Amino acid sequence: MPDAFDPLFDELASINAELASVAVRLAALEERQAAVGAGTGESGDGGGPSDRAAGAPVLWWSMGEVQKAALWPEFVAWVVWLSDAYELTTEQLPRQCWWQHASVVEELTALWTSHSSAYASQEDVGASPYLWQDALARAIERVNRNWLGGCVNGFHEPKSRIPFGTDAAYRKVLLEAGPPGDLEPKEPVEPAESAEPPSAVG
């Protein structure tokens, strides 16, 4: 005579087998994530990778403090990894002040998110990392040429300029000026024909 608990035990055995299968898959995913993190600097001092999708844009200025506090250590860990992995010199990325230049942070953030995207893709994996390497070379050149100026001497040197956004009078002039009058391209004007024939030079 069959035991009344046999169907229950069979169901529990099936659930146990499914849980064992999930545990194996989870362990494989964790190993894969650890390997990716070791190669991208997304783990370690930064406290581990965030739940952000690979390649998702990061807009520091629009984030709340909690989100910034969660992402900033991850970003810093990646920049430190990048600097050491690519042996960046102080002339390429001044270690004493890069984070004090908003434009440099934006450039590095774009590199960070695009790196994550390039190496996370399961498709076109040959081209994406190569294109990222090219983007890195161009970005480092821009950082040095356009934004850092005197900071390459080992000290932070703020740019000598008047910020556009803090001058209320300047903003008022811009808003009152409005866009240029007629932005439509104009047809070329044909020269008018003269009513009198040109006089002969004798």
Q: What is the pLDDT of residues 134-154, one digit of tens each?
A: 999 999 888 877 665 667 666
119 is written with which tokens? 């190496």
How far is 17 from 23, CA to CA, in rounded Å? 10
Task: List all residues 6 or more positions away from 79 whose beta carbon is below 8 Å from its beta carbon.
Answer: 41, 98, 108, 112
Over range 41-68, report the average pLDDT: 67
Whole-model pTM over 0.85: no
Over range 113-126, report the average pLDDT: 77
CB 86 within 8 A of CB 141: no
How high is the pLDDT of residue 5? Answer: 76
